[in-house]
Amino acid sequence: MKRRKVDLQQAPVNAAKGVDERFQAATPLRALLNKVFPDHWSFLLGEIALFSFIILLLTGVFLTLFFDPSMKEVAYEGAYPALRGTEMSAAYESSLHISFEVRGGLFMRQMHHWAALLFMASIVIHMARIFFTGAYRKPREANWAIGMILFLLGFLAGFTGYSLPDDGLSGTGLRIASAIMLSIPVVGTWLSASIFGGEFPGHLIIGRFYIAHVLLIPGGLLALISVHLGLVFKQKHTQWPGPMRTNTNVVGERMFPRYALKQGGFFMAVFGTVALMAGLFQINPIWLFGPYRASEVSSASQPDWYVMFMDGLVRLMPNWQIYIGDYSIPPLFWPAVVGLGALTTGPIFWPWIEARKSGDKRIHNLLERPRDNPERVGIGAMAFTFFIIATLSGGNDVIADKFHISLNAMTWAGRIGMLVLPPLAYFISVRICLGLQQHDREVLAHGVETGIIKRLPNGQFVEVHQPLGPVDDHGHPIPLEYGGWVVPKKMNRVGALAPAVKGFFFPVEKPAEAPVSPGMPPVSGDTREEITSGRK
Amino acid sequence: MTSDTPAGRRLRVFSRRRGAPSKTRRRLGAAVRMVAALALAGGVYTAFAPGAFADEPRQLSATAQEGKQLYDNSCITCHGRDGQGVDDRGPSLIGVGSASVEFQVGTGRMPMVRQEAQAEQKKPQFDKNQTKQLGQYIQELGGGPQLPSGELVENLEENPEALARGGELFRVNCTSCHSFTGAGGALSSGKFAPALHDATPEQIYAAMLTGPQNMPVFGDNQLTPDEKREIITYIKVQLQDDRDPGGIFNLGGYGPSTEGIAIFLVGIVLLVFTALWIAGKS
């Protein structure tokens, strides 16, 4: 009998050929696999959000297998002794069941919660990177707007999820949410009654929040994340200016294999970080909070950190009630409804506002270093200062208690700080940017400081500078144009010393190479000579 | 005007109208009535008022004598002679009871370092024995609540429901200041509710009984001694003995504030360094 010869080497080729003949996949796949992504650590911040969203989906599906979104009253008879016999809702009972009886349930719950905090944190950090580098400029305005809406959706997903266990803390949060709805003039009462199905808390809210939390909001998030990434693919990623990088090309690594491997590794790192935190740090110990009772409100009742700015604004708002005839507008309305609305929707329009102000209609695929646009940095610093003060004020009772400050002093510090510090942050950051610009121009005009002081025959001391480019007849450097990218400011950056950083976090420092083009011979390094003070 | 109404006329039937009494007679009657009223009020007062004023200064027990020595050395500046109190410095200690002394002195809050919003807990200045002596002195001086003898933590083997009942009572009565996890919390103007992590059962009981600093008094008609013991059981077993699952560190039990700090200081920092590392490998 003759054995059929199997050519193993040919097998993948045949398989791929078969797939292509059936699905015509080669052409689109080649474009996809060869797609080039620029490499910089700050471009990976958005991925943290994407990966934590994937972790949220995975752990969330696990939790839905055991969670009962019902407000039916039951008596607890589970494994946790300190609540046995207590009347509670089925939602809270099943959350306790997940925490104490489902194998790995508490770990999954903690992973889900930490991943949610990480999701929102990385969205904010990613947004800061986009803002300060001007990556939202034409043609990417729409993606900036989508990103802001993603933050808002994440905010809602977080709030609904925080409410689901129906414990003492989440019920307090819901109570505040209902108060915020009630504070809206004219429609408030109807809005609250329609969401809660009558008077707070009613018997419907957990079921309604559940479907919003597991279907509607994640569906919206998934759709918008797809559009967000699709636009990054279509419009291509922005890149930093630098040698060989222009507004019309992308310099970086191909999607496959290196970039895909890096991203796979980074996903593992994000997953590992979330799992590490879930395993080490307790989060939201619902069993201590007890079932929600309107009479039980704990001190240090805070929302999760990304809602805390709203809580802070509410805490800082003076008690100004406005009466119009028989009606009144409670002070809560201004920070919680107007403030939240303005802070989450206003920034959506920033790219158009800036373009209109500067009259800039060009397409920008190259990023701008923050220092090159001091006004933008100033406005960003102002916004973040405001956000940070509002967030800190959201936890001002914990800060007051743990740092032994009067709570009243904290409130007034927040009120005054909110008005005084943002303009101060604007001024300081603009001055820093201008100073950095100035220094860049100085180095380009005079060269790198060598640290060598030379004494001239007439007794004068001068510092020796290493020119970055050609020099004129007197040996003075010819001023260079600023290229929008890092100007070497230390001698080891121009190849005079061994690299200071060994390349663990940063690429090994190499002397900047002149662009190689076919028409010009490459610059050879042979003609370099050591710089000295001139003394033999 | 009303005298013409039928009701007015009917009333007149019962009134004895034998002409107005003489002026002297009216004066005499008023004086007699006044004396009678005063005698009644005085009699009632002497019958019901505590006899403390009338008594001779009571002989202090030997323990209380020791306590008085300590009191006259360390406490008298603010609380005055015989615990009468000094205006704007220290309140009177008449009637605060030995439970109050054992809490305030036993936790080091008294003697106070300076006048401020609230006395801070610190290393106790007096040992257990001296605290007892001080307590005895204050007790004999003016009476007041005392710590009960016997076990303050319920035996959960015999009475397993005590833990859940204690938790319920803790959440209703204590969490609004001390927080769900017993980590403490801020009150207005620099006052605060301290953390409960290192409080002993005796201290918790004494605090509930006497309401130290800014804490309200939970007298025995608000929380019965059994309910107090259940609350202590919950604090001891659930909050202090670290029965909490969910990792090796509970971030202080301060709720979402410290969780938010943790996600930036640990999560974001770790991942930014990872991003630097991954992007550096090109």
- Is A364 within 8 Å of A216 (Cβ atoms)? no
**Under an 8 A CB cutoff, do B189 and A277 touch?**
no
Q: Return the SS3 of A195.
A: helix
A211 membership: H or E segment, kind and range: helix A205-211
Range of the domain at A313: 39-368
The answer to the question of residue A288 being in a domain is: yes
Instruction: Give chain B positions within 8 Å (CB) of A79.
Output: none
**Under an 8 A CB cutoff, do A282 and B247 touch?**
yes
The answer to the question of residue A467 being in a domain is: no
Q: Return the SS3 of A254.
A: strand
Closest CA to A91 of A68, A109, A112, A63: A68
Closest CA to A110 of A95, A122, A123, A125: A95
For the domain that residue A334 is a member of, what is the CATH number? 1.20.810.10
Tokens of A470: 């050609």
Instruction: Give chain A positions within 8 Å (CB) of B189.
Output: 406-408
Per-residue pLDDT tens digits for A290-349: 999 988 999 989 999 999 999 999 999 999 999 998 888 999 999 999 999 998 889 999
Per-residue pLDDT tens digits for A232-246: 989 999 999 988 888
pTM of the model: 0.86
* A533 vs A128 pLDDT, higher one: A128
The answer to the question of residue A304 being in a domain is: yes
In the numeric block, the tokens 């911040």 are attached to: A45
**Under an 8 A CB cutoff, do B268 and A296 touch?**
no
Per-residue pLDDT tens digits for B236-252: 998 888 667 888 888 88
* A1 vs B127 pLDDT, higher one: B127
Per-residue pLDDT tens digits for A52-67: 999 999 999 999 999 9
Q: By percentage, how much of chain A surpasses pLDDT 90?
A: 69
The answer to the question of residue A235 being in a domain is: yes
**Under an 8 A CB cutoff, do A45 and B176 touch?**
no
Looking at CA atoms only, how far is residue A39 from chain B in angstroms? Answer: 6
pLDDT of residue A327: 87
- The upper half-sphere exposure of residue B251, i.e. CA atoms within 13 Å in the direction of its Cβ, equals 23
The chain-wide mean pLDDT, for chain A, equals 90
- Is the peptide bond between A139 and the residue preceding it cis, with omega within 30 degrees of 0? yes
Per-residue pLDDT tens digits for B100-142: 999 999 999 989 888 888 888 899 999 999 999 999 999 998 8
The answer to the question of residue A527 being in a domain is: no
* Cα dihedral value B193, B199, B205, B206, nearest 10: -70
pLDDT of residue B17: 53
Q: What's the rounded Cα separation, in Å, for the pair B151 and B162?
A: 14
Which site among B274, B276, B277, B282 would you substitute to test the A interface, given the most A Cβ atoms closer than 10 Å to its Cβ? B274
Of B238, B244, B276, the CB nearest to A505: B276
Q: What's the rounded Cα separation, in Å, for the pair A58 and A112?
A: 9
Of B164, B270, B279, the CB nearest to A273: B270
Phi-psi region of B185 (alpha: psi -120 to 50; beta: other; left: phi over 0): beta
**Under an 8 A CB cutoff, do A278 and B247 touch?**
yes
The answer to the question of residue A6 being in a domain is: no
Per-residue pLDDT tens digits for A487-519: 888 877 776 665 555 556 665 555 555 444 444
Instruction: Give chain A positions within 8 Å (CB) of B238.
Output: 82, 288
Q: What's the rounded Cα separation, in Å, for the pair A17 and A297?
A: 66
**Under an 8 A CB cutoff, do B171 and A86 touch?**
no
DSSP per-residue codes, A423-486? HHHHHHHHHHHHHHHHHHHHHHHH-EEEEEEEE-TTS-EEEEEE-SS-B-TTSPBPPPPP-SSP
Sign of the Cα torsion B71, B73, B79, B82 reads positive
Sign of the Cα torsion A467, A468, A473, A476 reads negative
The answer to the question of residue A1 being in a domain is: no
Tokens of B252: 């202080």
The answer to the question of residue A297 being in a domain is: yes
Complex prediction ipTM: 0.89
Structurally, chain A folds into a number of domains equal to 1
